[in-house]
Amino acid sequence: MKTINELLSEGVAGRRVFVRADLNVPLDGTTITDDGRIRAVVPTVRALAEAGARVVVASHLGRPKGTPDPAFSLAPAAARLGELLGADVAFATDTVGESATATVDGLADGQVAVIENLRFNAGETSKDDAERGAFADRLAALADAYVGDGFGAVHRKHASVFDLPARLPHYAGYLIATEVGVLRKLTDDVKRPYVVALGGAKVSDKLAVIDQLLGKADRILIGGGMAYTFLKAQGHEIGTSLVQEDQVPAVREYLERAGKNGVELLVPVDTLVAAEFPDMKSKAPADPATVAADAMPAGRMGLDIGPATSALYASKLADAGTVFWNGPMGVFEHPDYAEGTKAVAQALIDSPGFTVVGGGDSAAAVRTLGFDEQAFGHISTGGGASLEYLEGKTLPGLAALED
């Protein structure tokens, strides 16, 4: 896999360089609530611009249905990228139409443009190779070289991720090179004990990675909404908590296999419960109660791991050589249900090992809860991509960057 350093050594002055970034940031209207993914691509864009390239940045945002939708415009992300670069960033109001062509043609050496949301064109996500390829052809006409730096999208077989690199000289940006290096430390060069903390809402999103980790990790700590499916599999009352009934047999089998493999697979020993899901707009006090995980009231729902579980998980992280964390431990966006996630984040900071925050909601939690990002070994920009890499899957966007 060639990297951006090789492209820079070849010389990029006057060349149009297409950077596939991941600017898929959360928005409140037109206000960006977490700019972490934009900041992550700045080093690549800045290096190219300072070397005289004419930089064309492209990304998706959200899930529009293959047609323009103002709610998913990349305009706010383009403006924020300009602020971070300290330079004007041009914005094209389409992907491969008149605005994109004119905007790119108008770039001078060292200038940057962002084209509109790639998913406004149905060809970006099409399962039809010909339709996807036709869109990639039009994107290729905007550039002389391709830099893949949108790690959060490399697990998608999309036109700008998979098909476009085949049409242009292609290189990995700084972000992707860093992400791959980190993930190799979680698969090929693991320092033990290797501890994995998994949370989030759906256990189905994590089953494949748990399957792989049962042969690799020393300890797996379960939290978040998915924990209640584990508790259900153990035969416990879970009240009105989130549960995936169809996954209970698989979870039960994993619990049994963990014991046979000598892997500590830990589930909450206590939990915070309430009568209903909290009001996330007002953040009004929710008055939760802490109960033992095997004594949940029938009419209550679990919304965070309890203090005893937080202490237990912190103890299991205290001597870790390597830690991977993906998924919050509770509804961290509400102050009454943030303590479990805070405890795990702090335990990673206190751990002597190499710590990786696996993107998505975990990365958002780190920033939302006010932790210093530099206190972690690495904060990934791609939760889904990280999980699929750990599952052993071939990621289309990484395969496309190989020579």
**pLDDT 10s digits, 36-77:** 899 999 999 999 999 999 999 999 999 999 999 999 999 999
37, 54, 157, 219: the catalytic one is 37
**3-class secondary structure, 166:** helix
Q: Is 46 considered catalytic here?
A: no
**3-class secondary structure, 112:** strand
DSSP output for 317-386: HTT-SEEEEES-SS-TTSGGG-HHHHHHHHHHHH-SSEEEE-SHHHHHHHHHTT--GGGSSEE-S-HHHH
User: What is the distance between the alpha carbons of residues 118 and 132, in angstroms, rounded to a whole number?
Assistant: 12
* pLDDT (mean) for 344-369: 93
User: What is the distance between the alpha carbons of residues 64 and 229, in angstroms, rounded to a whole number?
Assistant: 31
202, 252, 367, 393: the catalytic one is 202
**CA angle in degrees (0–180, nearest 5) for 203-205-210:** 70
In angstroms and rounded to an integer, the radius of gyration of the C-alpha atoms of the chain is 22
Per residue in 186-209, pLDDT tens? 988 899 999 999 999 889 989 999
360, 382, 383, 397: the catalytic one is 360
* The amino acid at 325: W
Per residue in 215-256, pLDDT tens? 999 999 999 999 999 999 999 999 999 999 999 999 999 999
pLDDT at 189: 81
The model carries a pTM of 0.90
- Residue 183 phi, psi dihedral angles, 5° rounding: -65, -30
pLDDT at 102: 98
173, 200, 340, 384: the catalytic one is 384
Q: Is 360 considered catalytic here?
A: yes
Q: Is 11 considered catalytic here?
A: no
Whether the predicted pLDDT of 359 surpasses 80: no
Residue bearing the bigger pLDDT, 111 or 403: 111
Q: Is 232 considered catalytic here?
A: no
